[in-house]
Amino acid sequence: MLFKQLFARKSIEVLMEEMKGDDRLRRALGTMSLTSLGVGATIGAGIFALTGRAAAQDAGPAIIISFIVAGIGCALAAMCYAELAAMVPVAGSAYTYAYATLGELFAWIIGWDLILEYAMGCSTVAAAWSGHFREFLDIISFGAIHIPDYLMTDPFTAARTGSSAWFNMPAVLIMLIVTAVLVVGIRESASANNVLVVIKTLVVLFVICVGLGFVVSANWTGVPVGERLMPEDLLIPDEAKAIAKAEGITDPAQVKARVVTLSTQVLALARVERERDETARLIRAGKVSEAEGESRVQEVAARSEKAFPTEARDQEAANTILTALHEKSGEKRAEKWGLLGLMGINSWLLPIDDACRTRFSPYGFSGIMLGAAIIFFAYIGFDSISTHAEEAVRPQRDVPIAIIASLAICTILYIAVAIVITGLVPYPSISFDSAIATAFRELAEREQSPLLRGAAVLIAIGALAGMTSVLLVTFLSQARIFLAMARDGLLPNGIFGVVHPRFRTPHKATILTGFFICLGAAFTPIEDLGDMVSIGTLMAFVIVCAAVLILRKTRPDVERPFRCPAVGIIATSGLVLNLFMMLFLSWITWLRLLVWLVVGLAIYYFYGRHRSAFAPTLVREIAKPGAPRTGTRLDEMRPR
């Protein structure tokens, strides 16, 4: 019986029947509002914050290609989303599609997985919001207002850089505000969202237009490969801290200063060494002459020599750290290969990397793919339109158009921003936390230009507005999915299905979810959160592509107002490309995904399967004389 329930599918007819109830959401959103929702949920932390890290340490200027790759993965999935959203235009998104195609167990898995995309996505965006808030205060107060470091980040990130911290306070504050707004109700918030979307889109256009005037082409193709950041560089602060301790330094400020000095010196030495290794490889491969190789090494030495250690004590310390880095580099570099490293596939890909390593793509093919997997986060959100299908005026027409339009707008803007940011700043120096705002602030300082300073303020405001709208729409989408799951009995209806009598919002679910989002934002490193969100969403996209293929076979009869063109090619390529991007994420991210899914399955086993509308007890009740007809709304079948 259980087996039957696990694969029980909610028929499309039942889904459509459910749409007719009185308690459905009001249909008020047209194509423009839906597209605006999509853009609202998409442009945010990914482009304003995560792009910096991925460009600096994963892909280099080739992050531009990473954006194209991730954009293609999303476009393929978007076509599949569009077909399903037009066919099954009810709230719940991929969760509902999975219920209709793959059965209850998969529906639960995807619903649980979507929590990673939406709720954990909010934590990530809130953490990035915090970095921009500090940048904003810094610029407008000329450095006078400064939130202490220990209230700006989570303890784990602080520990990685040799300091300590309590929690990320601004991230918690913005989440508390967003939660309060959503509890009181922004059901009619389309216009507020439109305003935020206009602000952020204008700011992004402004960045592109103004930034293009200041790009230096040498930043795309002139930074020596030896200057790239390597995974083992992350170990430098810890090693430097250990040396400071061994030197008897105890005062935290002095430890920090020593860590900064040693880190700069070690990086300068490591760069020359890496350029030497790289040119030796190229000489062996016959790609450059000995003389050309030597001049490349000299070029890097000249760029770095200012930072070389001069005192004997510093030289000894730097050499100790360099030796430790050499010892651990193999292990750290393998980690970067993600699951591919664990499977040993990196040994095939390494030669490909070497062959296509240039100053434009210093991290090779794997860097481009890893960059794509990370900045994939920036594209997340266009699919949240499908969670609002129930509120669309003409869902079968508007939802597919809005999904494709918002993705197209974001893709074009992202590629342009990537071109600008990597042209403004040499990639190893791009800020990890607030790439665009910091680049403009530094530009303003260099050019001594009040106008550019004003531009930096504008960008910080645009980034804050942008991320706030992502938080609002994403959190709202999470509530929609919980609502759909509660309606089906897979989550407690008393919490996730109830609506506040006055505010008409799912207040209990919002407060509970807001609490967990705050915890995530306060105490978890932003890159770990971002990677979890990316892997969760990629998995959702893979399932959606699979669902379209399955449904074409099992239900060819159902009307499809939008048909994904060349479905065999598009859905299959979407499935493969998104799966391939997943493989580049670290094994620890995979492990976390696995743990997350196991916890989800346990909840389904102990709770959901007993409460679902397909639970055997309920099915028996339905079969009794006088019970509701099969095919009536599932809500009516469930005991109240």
Compose the 45-84 pattern: x for residues touching ligand ALA by CB under 6 A, - for all others: xx--------------------------------------
470, 521, 532, 539: which one binds ligand ALA (CB under 6 A) = 470
Q: In 3-state terms, what secondary structure has residue 392?
A: strand
For CA atoms 448, 449, 450, 455, give the dihedral sign.
negative
Structure tokens at 123: 């934590």
Which 271-300 positions form the footprint of ligand ALA (CB under 6 A)? none
Q: Taking Cα atoms as reference points, which of 28, 32, 50 lies closest to residue 409? A: 32
Rounded to whole angstroms, how far apart are CA atoms 236 and 497? 50
Compose the 352-391 pattern: x for residues touching ligand ALA by CB under 6 A, - for all others: -------------------------xx-xx----------
Q: Which is nearer to ligand ALA, 40 or 395 (CB)?
A: 40
Q: Which is nearer to ligand ALA, 297 or 461 (CB)?
A: 461
Q: Which is nearer to ligand ALA, 42 or 510 (CB)?
A: 42
CA 295 vs. chain centroid, Å, equals 40
| Closest approach of ligand ALA to the CB of residue 380, in Å | 4
| Closest approach of ligand ALA to the CB of residue 524, in Å | 16
| Closest approach of ligand ALA to the CB of residue 328, in Å | 32
Beta bridge partners of 392: 29
Our CA dihedral for 588, 592, 597, 602, rounded to 10 degrees, sits at 130
Q: Which is nearer to ligand ALA, 117 or 278 (CB)?
A: 117
Ramachandran class of 455: left when φ > 0, alpha when ψ lies in -120 to 50, beta otherwise: alpha
Q: Which is nearer to ligand ALA, 46 or 364 (CB)?
A: 46
Under 8 Å CB-to-CB from 475, ≥6 apart: which residues? 118, 119, 122, 178, 179, 182, 510, 513, 514, 517
| Closest approach of ligand ALA to the CB of residue 357, in Å | 29
| Closest approach of ligand ALA to the CB of residue 145, in Å | 25
Compose the 421-450 pattern: x for residues touching ligand ALA by CB under 6 A, - for all others: ------------------------------
Q: Which is nearer to ligand ALA, 378 or 456 (CB)?
A: 378
Residues 38, 403: contact at Cβ < 8 Å?
Answer: yes
Annotate 548-586 with b (16+ C-beta within 10 A) or e (fewer).
bbbbbeeeeeeebbbebeebeebbbebbebbebbbbbbb
Compose the 29-48 pattern: x for residues touching ligand ALA by CB under 6 A, - for all others: -------------x-xxx--
Task: Tell me whether residue 401 is exposed, middle or buried, using C-beta atoms within 10 angstroms of its C-beta: 0 to 12, 13 to 18, 19 or more.
Answer: middle
Residues 334, 346: contact at Cβ < 8 Å?
Answer: yes
Q: Which is nearer to ligand ALA, 374 or 486 (CB)?
A: 374
Q: Taking Cα atoms as reference points, which of 549, 584, 557 lies closest to residue 79? A: 549
Compose the 119-148 pattern: x for residues touching ligand ALA by CB under 6 A, - for all others: --x---x-----------------------
| Closest approach of ligand ALA to the CB of residue 260, in Å | 30
530 binds ligand ALA (CB under 6 A): no
Q: Which is nearer to ligand ALA, 300 or 416 (CB)?
A: 416
Q: Which is nearer to ligand ALA, 380 or 544 (CB)?
A: 380
Q: Which is nearer to ligand ALA, 159 or 192 (CB)?
A: 192
DSSP 422-471: HHHS-GGGS-SS-HHHHHHHHHHHHHT-HHHHHHHHHHHHHHHHHHHHHH
| Closest approach of ligand ALA to the CB of residue 81, in Å | 15
| Closest approach of ligand ALA to the CB of residue 537, in Å | 9
Structure tokens at 81: 């989303």
| Closest approach of ligand ALA to the CB of residue 454, in Å | 25
Rounded to whole angstroms, how far apart are CA atoms 276 and 315? 19
| Closest approach of ligand ALA to the CB of residue 580, in Å | 20
| Closest approach of ligand ALA to the CB of residue 279, in Å | 38
Q: Which is nearer to ligand ALA, 41 or 90 (CB)?
A: 41
Residues lying near ligand ALA in the complex (CB under 6 A): 42, 44-46, 121, 125, 377-378, 380-381, 470
